[in-house]
Chain A
Amino acid sequence: MVAPINLQLEFGGGAELLFDGVKKHHVTLPSQSDPWDIKHLLVWIKDNLLKERSELFIQGDTVRPGILVLVNDADWELMGELDYKLQDQDNIVFISTLHGG
């Protein structure tokens, strides 16, 4: 079993509107047998934070196109994307890309 971990989740670029307009969430992921990765985190977010219209945030087992995921201020692509193993106190940001000008 792995110990519970604390994360700061942030939503921006309009993605926060799916979470009652709240940008910052301090969350604790419970103890489980396998280490937490982002794939598990997305399922946890869908079950615990997303109230409705989850298809506007998650498609299949990943985020919908147009949302950039950051792990401690780096593009998640540099960190292993869905397989990144979450560490206690990580800051995970989900930001919707903007198109207005």
Chain B
Amino acid sequence: MDSAELESLREEIKKRDQEILCLKEQLRDGPSSCQQSDRSSSLPKLRSINEELPPLSRLSLSNAEIIRYSRQLVLPEFGVRGQLCLSQCSVLVVGCGGLGCPLVQYLAAAGVGRLGLLDYDEVEMSNLHRQVLHSEEKIGVPKAISIASALQPLNTTVEYIPYHTMLSPANAVPLIRQYDIVADCSDNVPTRYLVNDACVVAGKPLVSASALRWEGQLTVYNHEGGPCYRCLFPIPPPPETVTNCADGGVLGVVPGIMGCLQSLEVLKLASGKASSYSGTMLMYDALDGRFRNIKLRGKRVDCAICGSKSEPQILKDYEVFCGSSASDKCRTLNLLTAADRMTVLEYKKLLSDGVSHLLIDVRPQVEVDICRLPHSIHIPLSQLEAGNAADLLGDKTGTAECGGQKKLIVICKLGNDSQKAVKILQGLSENGVGKFIVKDIAGGLMAWAEKIDPAFPKY
């Protein structure tokens, strides 16, 4: 059996697994379970973002609620009053990932009235190390549905409203108006600006957290005269300075900790208490084990969205405003023309034809440790950018003229860094250091794993 057949078998198994999952869910929703009034029997249904939600109204706690929440009811700062406030409060959670999972888990357990669960994405294997309410059997399922079905057995008295959609300038304000508090658990810059602006327009507090690598940040925007996100960051960061979890990495427990702290601030607001983080930002460095609270500026009088000078207005396009897309998927660079690139299929053919060449892997060491093509030599892009590329080539090949190779081929994970490396190496060739042709492999090692060698790991 060749590798293509193996791959198609794997695809088939994945498809059948998903069919079984769907059938199981239908079975759970079937006639026998419908007869029970217990809400745990039915899987939460996706909801339309336009659906109008009825107001929540609670006057007293039932005996079942008293025993369930007894350990928090006896806290003098919380008490029956806090619990009733909480049960009448609705929270919109933007992003059901690494922050969203622990956040909603504690909100649901504590008895919040209604949870809006918004995410445009589906569960992937590489999410599970940090997005701890999703599970292996939910791979491919919309995150909004997956998270709601994980919460349902925890607390059936909470109303879960899953939205499998992207927040947009058209839907953000009407949706946010239906909720009392918004939690920003998103993973990209345009969404963070959009959520902020919509909260300002709708007049809702925004409890915002973020995490990457070993660090986290938390603050409450647009609350009690405090600043909004744009007061702090009037101009979006240049897209090339923004790192996502796939590129930068993240230890799962770091968003876990930040999501728990975020949940705590939502619970304080929802139960009628003051938040500790309006006008204050918490910064957590997990590697040093250090929390730092910093005092933030006040609201900016000239803030483009919450400033006093004009009526707040949502922008038409936040992706244009930020110069990046509203997702955490990796960016695709186009620095080279087609003539300077080859596909993985073309590279496979070059290998089979035995064409003499030097394959240079420019990924960081930590990624080369995960996997590599055995015949490649390793020169990280950072070294090419910093040092003398000609010397590096000479060192690695043992000769000054790149081991006499006339053809240099550069590879990285996805085909972005390899283009930068080609530019640097072409510069060498033009300066007469060596005469060689340089190309990169479009799509990089992940395209190699996808199209040529299914046994090669994806990460």
Contact B238 A99 (CB under 8 A): no
Contact A98 B210 (CB under 8 A): yes
**Any chain B CB within 8 A of the CB of A65?**
yes
Contact with B along A1-41 (1 / 0, CB 8 A): 00000000000111000000001000000000000000000
Contact B233 A97 (CB under 8 A): yes
**Any chain A CB within 8 A of the CB of B220?**
no
List residues of chain B with CB within 8 A of the CB of A68: 232, 281
Contact B386 A99 (CB under 8 A): no
A78–B185 CA distance with the chains assembled, in angstroms: 28
List residues of chain A with CB within 8 A of the CB of B210: 97-101
A65–B285 CA distance with the chains assembled, in angstroms: 22
Q: Give the number of chain A interface residues (Cβ < 8 Å).
A: 26
Contact A13 B215 (CB under 8 A): yes
Given B188, B283, B288, which contacts A99 in the complex, CB threshold below 8 Å? B188
Chain B contact residues, majority secondary structure: mixed
Greatest chain A CB density within 10 A among B185, B189, B235, B241 is at B241
**Any chain B CB within 8 A of the CB of A51?**
yes
Given A12, A78, A101, which contacts B283 in the complex, CB threshold below 8 Å? A12
**Any chain B CB within 8 A of the CB of A54?**
no
List residues of chain B with CB within 8 A of the CB of A85: none
Contact B248 A100 (CB under 8 A): yes
* Cβ contacts A to B, 27 pairs, < 8 Å: A13-B212, A23-B285, A53-B385, A56-B238, A64-B237, A64-B241, A65-B233, A65-B234, A66-B237, A68-B232, A70-B294, A73-B292, A73-B293, A74-B294, A74-B295, A78-B295, A95-B283, A96-B241, A98-B216, A99-B189, A100-B187, A100-B210, A100-B244, A100-B255, A100-B328, A101-B98, A101-B100
B interface residues, Cβ below 8 angstroms from A: 95, 97-100, 184-189, 192, 209-213, 215-217, 232-238, 240-245, 248, 250, 255, 281, 283, 285, 288, 292-297, 328, 385-386
